[in-house]
Structure 1
Amino acid sequence: MIGLVLAAGAGRRLRPYTDTLPKALVPVDPAGEGTTTVLDLTLGNFAEVGLTEAAIVVGYRKEAVYERKAALEKTYGLKLTLVDNDKAEEWNNAYSLWCARDVLTQGVILANGDTVHPVSVEKTLLAARGEGRRIILALDTVKRLADEEMKVITDGAKGVRRITKLMDPATATGEYIGVTLIEPEAAADLADALKTTFERDPDLYYEDGYQELVNRGFTLDVAPIGDIPWVEIDNHDDLAKGREIACQY
């Protein structure tokens, strides 16, 4: 099993940082000097749980990731492979994850390039492996939800029944935080569902690909992460929160 980071996004709401950097390289250290980024935190988590390799899907301002590749490998002791997304500025992330379809065959812990979270999330997912589970989503069942969150409804042994931002928050079991464990056995099914998804509409999310799997009768499981600090960084308010959280671990 290896790590996988989706880091192709532009993150335009985080300008001026993202004038020259992809969202995953926006500074989350307190001083904002760039000594720590979301990508740093995620690779550090991968290393802490014993992974030795990771792939990073790059697109927007990918040259910034290529420039840091050797330093990141040295810092975190990971062998890194960069996967180019040729439509990063045109299409949404269902296509971005599909670009890594060959990586999925190795089994991955997938992390969005804008999610600041502690290593306990990866540990929770790894502890949930087994008993035929092929895809396990990290789920926050504590946070109070609103319209913007990627909400999930689950149903006992049937796992995920619905995953979308477009639902009444009051009906949701919790929020998908952007981290998933994907076993090798799920790779082909997921790649096909993602292809169906972005061919239907290039603006769709990879979570819409998860929904496509559910609609096909595939079981997606969840692992509750407990009451922990984390944030998806979409704007400058989120960035401020991310810097507060990053200081804690």
Structure 2
Amino acid sequence: MIGLVLAAGAGRRLRPYTDTLPKALVPVDGERTVLDLTLGNFAEVGLRDVAVVVGYRAEAVRERQSVLEKKYGVTLHLIDNDKAEVWNNAYSLWCARDVLTDGVILANGDTVHPVSVERTLLDARGGDKQIILALDTVKKLADEEMKVVVEPGRGMRRITKLMNPADASGEYIGVTLIEPAAAAPLADALKATFERDPDLYYEDGYQELVDRGFTIDTAAIGEVPWVEIDNHDDLDRGREIACRY
């Protein structure tokens, strides 16, 4: 199993930082970035090979590659997303379809979270589980969150932002464990998703899988401080959280 980070996004709501940097390289704790935090988490749970999907300002990641590898004891494999500035992240994850066959822990490049999330996913492995989503079942939800409905014994049934928060079981935090056996069906579902609409999220690919009869499981992360960084208010929260780790 390896680590996988989606770091191709532009993060326009974080300008001026993202005038020259991808969102994953915006500092959140001194010089540490979301990518730093995620690589540290991966290394702590024994993932020493990490694929990083790059696109917008990819050169900034390449410039730091050797420093990051030495700092965290990992080997980075950069995967180019040629449509990062025009298509959404269903295509971005599909670009990493070849490494999915190794089994991955996927982390969005804008999610500040502690290593306990990766440990929770690894502890949840076993049986017939092929995809496990990290789920926050504690946070009070609003309209912007990626909301999930879970049915006991059947796993995830719905994943979308377009849902009444009162109907949701929790929020998907942007971290997933994907077993090798799920690689081919997930890649096919992602392809169908971005071919239907290139503006769709990879979570829409998860929904496509479930609609085809595939079971996607979830693991509750508990009362854990984390944040998805989309704007400057999120960045302030991310900096407050990151300094604890």
Mark yes or no: TM-score above 0.5.
Answer: yes
Classify the secondary structure of the residue corresponding to 1:195: helix
Classify the secondary structure of the residue corresponding to 2:142: coil
State whether structure 2 residue 112 is matched by structure 1 residue 133: no
| C-alpha deviation, 1:128, in angstroms | 0.2
- Partner Cα separation in structure 1 for residue 134 and residue 100 of structure 2: 17
Q: Percent identity?
A: 80
List alignment gaps of at least 5 residues for structure 1: none
| C-alpha deviation, 1:200, in angstroms | 0.0
List alignment gaps of at least 5 residues for structure 2: none
State whether structure 2 residue 42 is matched by structure 1 residue 42: no
2:23 corresponds to which residue?
A: 23
1:12 corresponds to which residue?
A: 12
- Partner Cα separation in structure 1 for residue 220 and residue 164 of structure 2: 20
| C-alpha deviation, 1:203, in angstroms | 0.0
State whether structure 2 residue 227 is matched by structure 1 residue 248: no
- Partner Cα separation in structure 1 for residue 53 and residue 4 of structure 2: 8
> What code does the residue aligned with 2:177 have?
L
1:98 corresponds to which residue?
A: 94
CA offsets 1:8-36 (integer angstroms, 9 cap, x no match): 0000000000000000000001x5xxx10
CA offsets 1:163-222 (integer angstroms, 9 cap, x no match): 000000000000000000000000000000000000000000000000000000000000
- Partner Cα separation in structure 2 for residue 9 and residue 157 of structure 1: 35
Structure 2 counterpart of 1:203, from 199, 214, 217: 199
Regions of 4+ moved over 3 Å: none
CA offsets 1:19-58 (integer angstroms, 9 cap, x no match): 00000000001x5xxx100000000000000111000000
| C-alpha deviation, 1:135, in angstroms | 0.1
State whether structure 2 residue 169 is matched by structure 1 residue 170: no
- Partner Cα separation in structure 1 for residue 140 and residue 244 of structure 2: 22
Structure 2 counterpart of 1:67, from 48, 63, 67: 63
| C-alpha deviation, 1:91, in angstroms | 0.1
2:211 corresponds to which residue?
A: 215
Q: How many equivalent residue pairs? A: 245
TM-score (norm: length of structure 2): 1.00
2:180 corresponds to which residue?
A: 184
- Partner Cα separation in structure 1 for residue 134 and residue 153 of structure 2: 16
> What code does the residue aligned with 1:43 have?
L
TM-score (norm: length of structure 1): 0.98
> What code does the residue aligned with 1:9 have?
G
Q: Tell me how large the CA RMSD over aligned residues is.
A: 0.4
CA offsets 1:102-148 (integer angstroms, 9 cap, x no match): 01000000000000000000000000000110000000000000000
State whether structure 2 residue 138 is matched by structure 1 residue 142: yes
2:2 corresponds to which residue?
A: 2
> What code does the residue aligned with 2:222 have?
G
